[in-house]
Amino acid sequence: MDQRRPPALRVLDDPWARHFLSPAFRAALGTIKASGPLGEWVEAHSTGLAAYILTRHRYIDDLLVAALARGIEQVVILGAGYDTRAYRFSDALAGRPVWELDFPATSARKLEILGRLGKDLPPARVQHLQIDFRQEQVEDALFRGQFLLGRPTFFIWEGVSMYLTRDAVKATLHMLQGLGGPGSELAMDFWFLLDAPDLVAAAHRLTPNLLHVLGEPITFGIHPDDVTHFLDRLGYRANEVMTAARLEARYLDNQRSVYPADYVVHATWGS
């Protein structure tokens, strides 16, 4: 969606994203492109989920670039999906390794599409590790991929915690501390149940039920007011909590609004 704008108006630039669209989403995007101002209106008045995903991705991009400039040595992307940072930040990574973890089916489809893109892709030192977080430990998968234990690592855990149980989220956060050395960083996002009494919040409270029907039940949430303490108890320091309002203020200058029931946290530990 963002890629259809002129480069100067994009929140982020992902020239590879369109290659991962299914035929149905390709058709939807074509319709939005063709409908001009109507497409803009539809986007501006949507639930804000697309604007959330876009601004969350850009915010984590910015964190990653800053961490690479500070000298972070490696990157781990948990539940990577169709993340293309290994290619988009090929220059900034400068040969530093990236490990991407995801379900076997998603990982295999991604590899097939990347294979087709082949020589068009910039150089990347990326390994795709197949895992079901509910059945295998992240550390076992990473060790299969010759992960370097105890080095300063940038962990990205984007768009996943809400689909896991509270115990699984806590266990993974606990484990990451043992994997990344001093100076490591984490960027992850959370869903929470809006508790305002108005109709808009009430409508947003329906989303998890809709997602359940679509086969992607939301199973974990934590309010942004509580997340700093939650992370603190697990040994993390939350540097920044990027709520919808903050993402909107930082990255969007048009009438789009960001879905209010998710937010991103940048956290550190061990330094």
Ligand X SMILES: C[S@@+](CC[C@H](N)C(=O)[O-])C[C@H]1O[C@@H](n2cnc3c(N)ncnc32)[C@H](O)[C@@H]1O
Write out the residues near ligand X by the rule CB under 6 A. 79-81, 83, 102-103, 106, 131-134, 158-160, 163
Cβ proximity to ligand X: between 38 and 113 the closer is: 113
In angstroms, give the least distance from the CB of 139 to ligand X.
Answer: 14
Nearest in space to 187 (alpha carbons), one of 245, 243, 260, 264 = 264
In angstroms, give the least distance from the CB of 76 to ligand X.
Answer: 12
Point out the residue whose Cβ comes nearest to ligand X.
81
Cβ proximity to ligand X: between 79 and 183 the closer is: 79
Cβ proximity to ligand X: between 174 and 233 the closer is: 174
Question: What tokens does 125 get?
Answer: 């030192």
Cβ proximity to ligand X: between 147 and 163 the closer is: 163
In angstroms, give the least distance from the CB of 38 to ligand X.
Answer: 27
Question: What tokens does 25 get?
Answer: 């989403």
Name residue 181's beta-bridge partners: none
How long is the chain? 271
Cβ proximity to ligand X: between 102 and 185 the closer is: 102
CB-CB contact of 123 with 96 (8 Å): no
Nearest in space to 238 (alpha carbons), one of 225, 246, 229, 228 = 228
In angstroms, give the least distance from the CB of 117 to ligand X.
Answer: 17
Residues 6+ positions from 258 with CB-CB distance below 8 Å: 48, 51, 52, 55, 244, 245, 247, 248, 252
Phi/psi of residue 163, nearest 5 degrees? -100, 0
In angstroms, give the least distance from the CB of 163 to ligand X.
Answer: 5
